[in-house]
Amino acid sequence: MSGCPICGSERSSLALRDVRDYVTGEAFSIVRCEACTFAWTAPVPPSLDPYYPPRYRGFNPLAAALLRWSYRRRVASWLERLPRVGRALEVGTGRGWMLRALRERGWTAIGTERTPDAALAAARASGATVHAVEVADLDERNFDLVVMFHVLEHVDDPVAMLRAVAARVRPGGTLVLGLPNNASWQARATGRHWMHLDTPRHLGHFSPESIEAALGTAGFDVASVDFRSYEHDALGWTQSALDALGFEKGVILKRLIGLRERRGPLAATLAAFALAVPLTVAGGVLAVLSWRARAGAVMQVWAVRRDGA
């Protein structure tokens, strides 16, 4: 990569090395722009398919139930700030839970996914139309709301993606983003062990400053940033701490999302789960404190498309 994908600056430096993928064990580096603080994963693999195994995000029943509840709650909070009904697009809809919540509240909603199989599964779960296309190839336009929940960090050209989204949002329409905060307490404290680096699936790593710059370039104004994340923050503290202590990489996370790759000895796994209890309590306290300091591990960014963008 010749320059920063957000601001174009050629001034960058190595921020982290030996960041391990919890699926394959491969090591990657994180390079940070010295101008806008955006960071990116290096090198970018020629194909990301090996890093998305068949059971990726095949959540166990407890994790699935908690996430469905959390997503319905988030959608309800968003719609309190919007007209009673409208047209919505979810980019990277995943399991389709947010799409379903939107439709249950009377919205006309469609989604996109990266593969035909993923699109079909999301369509079945949500009852909505889900296209296996890039946003730039989507014919529908003039959406009132676009949701990108933990999607933009997976994109190698985030500004191009945001511009494609802007072309499909009506003037004054809303974009809601969820993405990790690379300037968070959690990121700074745990370094290369930070769970939300998630290399190489996460290609971009945003701070509040760099996501605002990217959105501005694409024609959006940031209206608010919320750092509360009940489903991601305490877990991030716990898993990152266990990784730093030398336990199996992603030992808790992999069991929550249904992965069985690279499992370690049973005794070590049991020890990790026992230690996870006090770590989660401590992580919950740190999470709440970081939210108050506007330094939580995950950002929810509310942006409005400018007229003429």
Mean pLDDT of 279-290: 97
pLDDT of residue 262: 62
Residues 6-20, mean pLDDT to the nearest whole number: 96
* CB 159 within 8 Å of CB 6: yes
Q: Which long-range contacts (CB under 8 A, 24 or more apart) does 41-44 make?
A: 41/197, 41/199, 41/200, 41/202, 41/203, 41/204, 41/205, 42/1, 44/1, 44/156, 44/200, 44/203
Residue 116 one-letter amino acid: P
Q: Which of 95, 125, 93, 134 is nearest to 110 (CA)?
A: 93
Is 213's pLDDT higher than 90?
yes
| Helical (H) or strand (E) element with 215 | helix 208-218
Helices 158-166/208-218 angle, 10° precision: 50
Residue-wise pLDDT for 115-128, tens only, equals 899 899 999 999 99
Confidence class of residue 99 from pLDDT cuts 50, 70 and 90? very high
Mean pLDDT computed over 103-112:
96
Q: Which amino acid is at 228?
A: R
pLDDT more than 90, % of the chain: 82
Given a cut of 90, whether residue 239 has pLDDT beyond it is yes
Q: Give burial (CB, 10 Å; 0-12/13-18/19+) of 78.
A: buried
CA 27 – CA 15 distance, rounded (Å) = 14
State the Cα–Cα distance between residues 20 and 32, nearest whole angstrom: 18
Distance between first and last Cα of the chain:
27
Residue 59: per-residue pLDDT: 75
pLDDT digit string, tens, across residues 150-188: 999 999 999 999 999 999 999 999 999 999 999 999 999
pLDDT at 309 over 80: no
Q: Which residues contact 5 (CB under 8 A, 6 or more apart)?
A: 38, 40, 156, 157, 158, 159, 204
Q: What is the 8-class DSSP label of residue 102?
A: H
Per-residue pLDDT, 56: 67
Residue 248 DSSP symbol = S
What is the chain's mean pLDDT, rounded?
A: 93
Rounded distance between C-alpha atoms, residue 76 and residue 221, angstroms: 22
Q: Quick one: pLDDT band at residue 1, thresholds 50, 70, 90?
A: low
Is the pLDDT score of 10 beyond 70?
yes
Give the pLDDT confidence of 287-305 residue by residue, as tens digits.
999 999 999 999 999 999 9
Instruction: Return the top range by mean pLDDT from 72-81, 152-161, 257-266.
Output: 152-161
Does 16 score more than 90 pLDDT?
yes
pTM tops 0.85, yes or no: yes
List the one residue out of 226, 235, 162 whose CA is nearest residue 196: 235
